Structure 1
């Protein structure tokens, strides 16, 4: 339908232009009557299309300024001013064509999503690959995706793949995916062909849902457009009254015609929708899908923001925080033994332990005789040793509690974390502290949202109060509501809506009712549940919470531009009407002036497509990922700093010197070279992206503190007598170790956040 309308507008523009130019040629040649006939022939099709448009709008109970254009053409024909009628017709046709062009330009990113939709798939049937329609795909089907093809449905990889995910995320870089990873429909295979197992039908896949949302967005009318219509209704009445008064006061009908001409068509109906669609398209380019213009406007004005915790403010899965071991053991060995047994368990904590071991490149053994107690733990044999992993209570049935276990349980409770205890051959050898870590971009995202005008941030979660309060305190949210059911979240949203527009961010099925009830529901669509995405008004297609702050900034700028277009267009038209009333602008000159006003208004509206902040560049490819890998490799070193500090008061005096020297050698081999390389090589590369003379001065100062404390500990180990330190010396070493541990932890977290923020492709 939209294509037919565009074609009709182009046709009317061609007819009105040709007849006007031909008529002017006849007029110059002295063929006045032929010129008048041509001008009439070019005007009538435009008038007919205008009448149909007005009738359609009235059936929808919508107002507009098209009626002014129709009145101006009819009035010009009644006054036998066919040239003026032809110019008005050309002005109207060109304005509509210009609007079509602007809308197409504004919708370019969203339209690309629709044109990108796959049409068929290759399924393995009866020993061969067969082309089938998308609606024939079922969960469990084995599919083949060749180079350059679009992944047809969501599924799991049967091998490695190289994918271009820019259609979904807005980020134009190649993503390497490993066998077993979940991939989403709509991404493009840019590497060799690969096989996959479908996990859903095409209709229920990610991309199909996005296409439905885009189609809804393109059909919808935003409140700003309806607001423009309300302004237009008053403007039409004002223009008609002004024209009548001008006619009565001057006694010249041509002046009334001039007034109508400069009021037609008002930029209200052109610029406002273009601005709104431009803002939606700008968001889509950055991986944020806004379903309709109303959501974009409310995103700009909401002052209260509710967040789910798990998977939204936190990563949604357990991550290793620390490893506690006996003095005679090492964290790496305990993790390897635990992960070897955890391979045989499907529990989420077991999967997290195994993932951490793989990330540290540990070689795991195959467990034997595995027995799992649901919800408690796993027992089995690893490398000939009887191993048990699980809760403290479960492992205590296989081994007595270790001296350090009480301290660890207390720390875990304080930090709102959990622990996987490990026993081997009847002795508790270690414990792996796990926690659902706060997302790297969450603190920055909340800071940016507050800067963009969000006044109140509330965390809603079904988690325990102690865990929720810990996360809330770290992120400095305004309120925490723990233990919330879906009904409780719904009640909280309804209560807050009495005080103004409310936003809600979530990712799970239990968030769907709250997302649907909030004025603006925002779903973490990159890895969240389909139900939450369907219920939401805004979908974050890229797994970055800070894109929400960027989308809000775009929404606020778009709204300013739309309102600016309303008042600018009306103001210019009113001024032109005044000059037309006193005879300064005859109808012909008024038509040219109004066309200029239209162009200015639409050009202003298209500013919403641009990034107001500009781009300061981004990190070199894979640098953020490389930093993450390096920090993962440093985890065992950092853990040993804390472990030695914990054990120091109880260590025999004669062993302190050797333990401290061993740690110093480890720091010198791994930690110091990493920090020195960052300071000398990495920081100079990213400093220009931040601006200022020395934007990383505070980060470099932390490097200097790490170098200083490490050197001090090394000298203390060298100067220590063989019989060990006295009590004061021991306390000083412990103080330095805890300080070094805290500084390194904080510094790594700061670097992770900084690199994540700068890595625009993340």
Structure 2
């Protein structure tokens, strides 16, 4: 029998003892006196409390449960068994309420663990076999049927797949993935059956990392919670002192008993852990994983935010920002020809071009007679047309730019962009300009951070001065440090920490040391980033930066509710002690009053599970980048 069942059984026994005793008392006669029944029904709760206090004492803990023991014992010794059993019911009821509150706060996190992938369908030369998820090896080709969980992280093999990623990223709508896109374990196939190639074992996949963080969230103890424990410990001698003074000044031991009864905030100090577990659960719902309540509390105090650039403030890839077209040419047709040719290339830009064409629904052809010039571009035959794509020297040689391309060349002369020149049968027909663009949700995110009390936001990047200063100027950042090595990043974080609580936000391996050095490290892990995720205190699973502001808001909301529950509960208990010492509250009435206080603060702590009042600017999702306009 587990402890929760024992506590519920003790509550039922105490309630039955009270009811039976009251029935005998109202009838005026019975085989036993009602006071005897009340005393007997109180004893099991007293015994359980003694065992609990001794167990806590042996591991170096002491709390306000001792006040409950003293008040019940005093009630029995002073001939007030009715007051004693009411306190017993209130205490046992508080422990049952405690179990309920913890269970509700942890349910969302536990649901993630309960739905962990357990099987996989592995393809082989003999067909498809069903195996345990932990038997999947890197490189295995897997079949994922409609409605099934993805067992491990992997790469999509088929042209496209529709995935429900809500349990992992918090995104409510299914997301379309295309060939070569990374896939996360724990997401659900919301479309037709597809094939994928495993890129990680089950223990190294996204869902396993989530479960490790859930475990940390349920076991870690925040400094704020430890402060609440110390407050509880201070309440014990204070209560005994007030009770002794009340007895001494009034010469009435019943007043002392009333003081002890109203000072029994059994689940009161539980409000802090319930609030913090609720905050961690709330964050998990929107794709933000907190590594325990310690991370959440530290996040609530942040005053300085340091951002990496590439992959954090920017998309981290080559995005098509502009197409310069020759007269009478169509952008989609040129993109189709370019992407068809790039299928044969291993250049870092090639996959971006191919994926862009597929997202537009363009039908690509197989290129022939392809010849690649390393670092310059490639040429080949597509649909019987000779296609050349790459740098200006490769495509144009010494020829001058035509008039329609001159404005674009001048505009991007000193910009950090990649320009792909495209020629058909030796004639230049288009120029595609790619750049690492700013994430669409970054401006709103920075506004939200400042609204949440972050008064210093800076950029810390390994990129050159030109690229860093351009981003910083467009966002109005407070400071910019460029050409930073991982060691430089750590030193910068240490300097900022001495001035104010600091968080570092990044996504790459080179950010990991700085993430670990910060008061709070936040990793953007939607594209992998295992090392940075392990080093961080908070992990964001969505491919957006806006959850950084959401995480800060949730942390502040949670800490406010926890502090509110503790201070208001203790203040009400203190006021009740004064009234009891003055003889205005009887022991029985005091027990009922204290339970009302306890229930109120616990229910208030559970508010962290709900949403927060977030302004529209904080709630905005990343806006899809505008389609590049032909010039």
TM above 0.5, yes or no, is yes
What is the deviation of 1:420? 2.0
Q: Which residue of 1 aligns with 2:284?
A: 284
Answer yes or no: is the 8 Å Cα contact 1:303–1:501 preserved in 2.
yes
Answer yes or no: is the 8 Å Cα contact 1:267–1:566 preserved in 2.
no
Q: Which residue of 2 aligns with 1:24?
A: 22
Q: Distance in 1 between matches of 2:198 and 2:40?
A: 59
Q: Which residue of 2 aligns with 1:724?
A: none
Q: Which residue of 2 aligns with 1:694?
A: none
Structure 1 residues 277 and 416: CA distance shift in structure 2, 3 A: same
Q: Is 1:93 the equivalent of 2:84?
A: no
Q: Which residue of 1 aligns with 2:572?
A: 572
What is the deviation of 1:578? 0.6
Q: Which residue of 2 aligns with 1:198?
A: 198
What is the deviation of 1:60? 4.2
Task: Indicate the RMSD between aligned Cα atoms, in angstroms.
Answer: 2.9
DSSP-derived class of the 1:400 partner: coil
1:96-125 deviation line (CA, Å, top 9, x unaligned): 111221222222321221222123333335
DSSP-derived class of the 2:462 partner: coil
Deviates more, 1:446-455 or 1:154-163: 154-163
Matches within 5 A, 1:69-108: 69-108=68-107
Q: Distance in 2 between matches of 1:410 and 1:390?
A: 18
Q: Is 1:142 the equivalent of 2:141?
A: yes
What is the deviation of 1:572? 0.5
DSSP-derived class of the 1:415 partner: coil
Q: Distance in 2 between matches of 1:69 and 1:24?
A: 23
Answer yes or no: is the 8 Å Cα contact 1:513–1:535 preserved in 2.
yes
Deviates more, 1:574-583 or 1:278-287: 278-287
DSSP-derived class of the 1:468 partner: helix
1:361-401 deviation line (CA, Å, top 9, x unaligned): 545443223233443332334455554433345546x4535
DSSP-derived class of the 1:348 partner: coil
1:263-294 deviation line (CA, Å, top 9, x unaligned): 00255412222222222222222222222222
Q: Which residue of 2 aligns with 1:708?
A: none
What is the deviation of 1:203? 0.5
Structure 1 residues 44 and 378: CA distance shift in structure 2, 3 A: farther
What is the deviation of 1:355? 3.0
Q: Which residue of 1 aligns with 2:111?
A: 112
Answer yes or no: is the 8 Å Cα contact 1:228–1:268 preserved in 2.
no
Structure 1 residues 52 and 486: CA distance shift in structure 2, 3 A: farther
Answer yes or no: is the 8 Å Cα contact 1:165–1:188 preserved in 2.
yes
Q: Distance in 1 between matches of 2:2 and 2:437?
A: 53
Deviates more, 1:117-126 or 1:329-338: 329-338
Q: Distance in 1 between matches of 2:248 and 2:205?
A: 65
Q: Distance in 2 between matches of 1:98 and 1:540?
A: 33
Unpaired segments ≥5 residues, structure 2: none
What is the deviation of 1:408? 4.6
1:16-72 deviation line (CA, Å, top 9, x unaligned): 222232333344443484544443443233223323332343344344211211221
Q: Which residue of 2 aligns with 1:319?
A: 319
Q: Which residue of 1 aligns with 2:298?
A: 298
1:685-726 deviation line (CA, Å, top 9, x unaligned): xxxxxxxxxxxxxxxxxxxxxxxxxxxxxxxxxxxxxxxxxx
Structure 1 residues 62 and 27: CA distance shift in structure 2, 3 A: same
What is the deviation of 1:91? 0.7
What is the deviation of 1:323? 2.4
TM-score using structure 2 length: 0.91
DSSP-derived class of the 1:73 partner: helix
Answer yes or no: is the 8 Å Cα contact 1:416–1:470 preserved in 2.
no
Q: Is 1:166 the equivalent of 2:157?
A: no
What is the deviation of 1:566? 1.4
Of 624, 628, 639 in structure 1, the residue corresponding to residue 630 of structure 2 is 639
Matches within 5 A, 1:648-659: none
What is the deviation of 1:445? 1.0
Structure 1 residues 466 and 52: CA distance shift in structure 2, 3 A: farther
Higher RCO (CA-CA < 8 Å; seq separation 6+): 2
Q: Distance in 1 between matches of 2:308 and 2:573?
A: 48
Q: Which residue of 2 aligns with 1:411?
A: 411
Q: How many residues align?
A: 627
Matches within 5 A, 1:506-525: 506-525=506-525
What is the deviation of 1:305? 0.3
Bigger CA radius of gyration: 1
What is the deviation of 1:213? 0.3
Deviates more, 1:498-507 or 1:317-326: 317-326
Unpaired segments ≥5 residues, structure 1: 641-762
What is the deviation of 1:537? 1.6
Q: Distance in 2 between matches of 1:411 and 1:85?
A: 84
DSSP-derived class of the 1:107 partner: helix
Structure with the larger helix share:
1
Answer yes or no: is the 8 Å Cα contact 1:266–1:573 preserved in 2.
no
Structure 1 residues 395 and 6: CA distance shift in structure 2, 3 A: farther
Q: Which residue of 1 aligns with 2:343?
A: 343
TM-score using structure 1 length: 0.76
Q: Which residue of 2 aligns with 1:130?
A: 129
What is the deviation of 1:216? 0.9
What is the deviation of 1:535? 1.9
